């Protein structure tokens, strides 16, 4: 197709032309977020915040239903706290923001930090240290266990290559922290919460996940085991979407979290931590959206339905608006999974086509147009965002409620099925050697990175030293899937005998 014949899209450049810039433009067009004056930080605007609420609230309910209580811990952490767990502080040291002064004074016309702190304070990069200190005071007996705590908070990790929602210096997250009497109980907790994350990502955001354990090189600092859910984005890279960690007794010993057992012995607890962030919004954009903008699975959409009155005949406009209100009231009685259907009438003084394109770019699942001719025909024109832009179907007034009721779950499943099909088509299991894998992940002359690559599923010998060899072509071991084939083979890196399946990919 020539340039002149190329389909006009709402977002430029397209995904294939420049995926990175396309991503930024989708966010801008949907009016979800913007960069703040502080490099790496973002302002989440109302549309983006509403999406976050529809992700956050279902998980918050599940966290509470599984016996956890919400709490809040300080943003500032004494530097000495982080130093108590060596592997932990080493893993986060380069990302920490540090407060060293507590006062500003005007000197020579400029504000100058004064009042140096006796001990520097680290702005929360994660909360294992400060929560470990609290747990050491809260736990004394086996009767205090298990202790199941969750926190919704902001986190600061100094980011060198920021990108809205994916990597920002400050971001929002949920982090769970639990303490248990036995290793078995703690490991059950770790896997239970990992599955909650998988269910949230797949059932609510319609993003298929590969669930597995991280390699030693990718493990959370200070953890014994780290488990992850990994998504494939449209440019065939991996995106870590949530992690759950079995911390063993490492933090318990660092912060002296001990309890008097039923047998009367003082023992260290076993702890876990687990979390996911606003990165899930970035994942949703990169998995589902198209060259006309955002596409929202119904379960996270702020509005399920937008009604656009087509006001062209002054003597009929009042009747059109009255019918639009009637339709809204009917549809608002419906439920979409665990939410009431949210229906919005866009009666702004703009052309219907202009309003329609705005809601396309915002990703609203269903758009309904109604004008004077539709009143005469006792029908509306309905468009669904999961289909090609421009699709419209005529729906009779008396069939509209049933149509919307059936379409929303159908669209939710459609988003998941399309993403799952795309991922499965791009997980390659025929590559057997390091040279073959290097060639697979190295774009050929003229190839765009966005159309090259995917995931490689291959055998790995689990030697941590081999992970260094992957850095040359910017690939990491994303996880060792919990679902293993159980077959024997040879390690793709060393050629040695191996039985473990691993996922290799470029990542965000």
pLDDT tens digits in sequence order for the chain, 508 residues long: 444 456 789 999 999 999 999 999 999 999 999 999 998 999 999 999 999 999 999 999 999 999 999 999 999 999 999 888 777 777 778 899 999 999 999 999 999 999 999 999 999 999 999 999 999 999 999 999 999 999 999 999 998 889 999 999 999 999 999 999 999 999 999 999 999 999 999 999 999 999 999 999 999 999 999 999 999 999 999 999 999 999 999 999 999 999 999 999 999 999 999 999 999 999 999 999 999 999 999 999 999 999 999 998 777 889 999 999 999 999 999 998 989 999 999 999 999 999 999 999 999 999 999 999 999 999 999 999 999 988 999 999 999 999 999 999 999 999 999 999 999 999 999 999 999 999 999 877 555 555 568 999 999 999 999 999 999 999 999 999 999 999 999 999 999 999 999 999 999 9
pLDDT for res 2:
42
- pLDDT for 447: 59
pLDDT at 220: 93
> Torsions phi, psi of 151, nearest 5?
-135, 135
Predicted confidence at residue 366, as pLDDT, reads 98
| Separation between Cα atoms, residue 310 and residue 28, nearest integer Å | 26
Cα distance between residue 266 and residue 260, in whole Å: 5
In this prediction, residue 315 carries a pLDDT of 78
How many other CB atoms sit within 10 Å of the CB of residue 426?
13
Whole-number pLDDT of residue 454? 95
Nearest CA to 303 out of 54, 11, 93, 21 is that of 54
* CA 408/CA 309 separation, integer angstroms: 21
Domain residues of the chain, as ranges? Answer: 19-77+124-288, 305-423, 427-505
Q: Do 19-77+124-288 and 427-505 show the same overall fold?
A: no
Separation between Cα atoms, residue 17 and residue 235, nearest integer Å? 11
This prediction's pTM: 0.95
Class level of CATH domain 427-505: alpha beta
Q: Which residues pair with 106 in a beta bridge?
A: 111
Is-contact 90 221, C-beta < 8 A? yes
**Strand order, beta sheet including 110-123:** 76-78, 110-123, 97-107
Does domain 305-423 correspond to CATH entry 3.40.50.410? no
Q: Where are the beta strands (DSSP E) in 108-237?
A: 110-123, 147-156, 170-180, 210-213, 225-232
Whether the Cβ atoms of residue 175 and residue 132 lie closer than 8 Å to each other? no
Cβ pair 197, 279 in contact under 8 A: no
Kind of pairing between the strands at 147-156 and 69-71? parallel
Contact between residue 122 and residue 82 where contact means Cβ atoms under 8 Å apart = yes
- Per DSSP, the three-state class of 491 is coil
Separation CA 508–CA 505 (nearest Å): 10
Which CATH number applies to 19-77+124-288? 3.30.930.10
Asked if residue 273 lies in contact with residue 151, where contact means CB atoms within 8 angstroms, the answer is no
Which pLDDT value is given to residue 83? 87
pLDDT of residue 6: 64
Coil vs helix vs strand at 23: helix
Q: How far apart are CA 301 and CA 48, in angstroms?
A: 10
């Amino acid at each position: 197709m020539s340039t002149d014949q190329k389909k006009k899209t709402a977002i430029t450049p397209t995904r294939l032309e420049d995926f990175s810039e396309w991503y930024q433009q989708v966010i801008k067009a949907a009016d979800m977020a913007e960069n703040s004056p502080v490099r790496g930080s973002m302002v989440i605007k109302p549309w983006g915040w509403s999406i976050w609420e529809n992700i956050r609230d279902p998980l918050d309910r599940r966290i509470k239903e599984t016996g956890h209580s919400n709490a809040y811990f300080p943003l500032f952490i004494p530097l000495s706290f982080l130093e108590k767990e060596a592997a932990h502080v080493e893993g986060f040291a380069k990302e920490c923001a540090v407060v060293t002064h507590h006062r500003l004074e005007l000197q020579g016309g400029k504000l100058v930090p004064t009042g140096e702190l006796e001990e520097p304070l680290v702005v929360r990069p994660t909360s294992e240290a400060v929560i470990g200190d609290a747990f050491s005071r809260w736990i004394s007996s086996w009767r205090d266990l298990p202790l199941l705590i969750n926190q919704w908070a902001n986190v600061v990790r100094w980011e060198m290559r920021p990108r809205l929602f994916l990597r920002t210096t400050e971001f929002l997250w949920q982090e769970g922290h639990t303490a248990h009497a036995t290793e078995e109980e703690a490991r059950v907790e770790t896997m239970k919460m990992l599955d909650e994350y998988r269910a949230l990502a797949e059932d609510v955001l319609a993003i298929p996940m590969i669930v597995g354990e991280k390699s030693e090189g990718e493990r959370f600092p200070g953890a014994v085991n780290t488990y992850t859910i990994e998504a494939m984005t449209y440019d065939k890279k991996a995106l870590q979407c949530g992690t759950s960690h079995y911390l063993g007794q490492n933090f318990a010993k660092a912060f002296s979290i001990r309890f008097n057992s039923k047998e009367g012995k003082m023992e260290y607890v076993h702890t876990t931590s687990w979390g996911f962030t606003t990165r899930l919004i970035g994942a949703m954009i990169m998995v589902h959206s198209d060259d006309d903008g955002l596409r929202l699975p119904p379960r996270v959409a702020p509005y399920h339905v937008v009604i656009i009155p087509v006001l062209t005949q002054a003597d009929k406009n009042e009747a059109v608006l009255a019918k639009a209100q009637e339709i809204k009231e009917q549809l608002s009685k419906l439920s979409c999974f665990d939410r009431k259907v949210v229906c919005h009438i866009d009666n702004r003084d703009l052309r219907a086509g202009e309003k329609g394109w705005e809601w396309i770019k915002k990703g609203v699942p269903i758009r309904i147009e109604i004008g004077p001719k539709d009143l005469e025909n006792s029908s509306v024109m309905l468009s669904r965002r999961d289909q090609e832009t421009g699709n419209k179907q005529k729906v009779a007034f008396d069939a509209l409620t049933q149509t919307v009721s059936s379409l929303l779950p159908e669209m939710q499943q459609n988003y998941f099925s399309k993403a799952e099909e795309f991922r499965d088509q791009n997980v390659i299991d025929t590559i057997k050697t390091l040279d073959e894998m290097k060639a697979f992940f190295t774009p050929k002359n003229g190839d765009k990175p966005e159309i090259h690559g995917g995931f490689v599923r291959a055998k790995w010998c689990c030697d941590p030293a081999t992970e260094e060899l992957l850095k040359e072509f910017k690939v990491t071991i994303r996880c060792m899937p919990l679902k293993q084939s159980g077959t024997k083979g040879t390690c793709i890196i060393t050629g040695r005998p191996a039985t473990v399946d691993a996922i290799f990919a470029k990542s965000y």
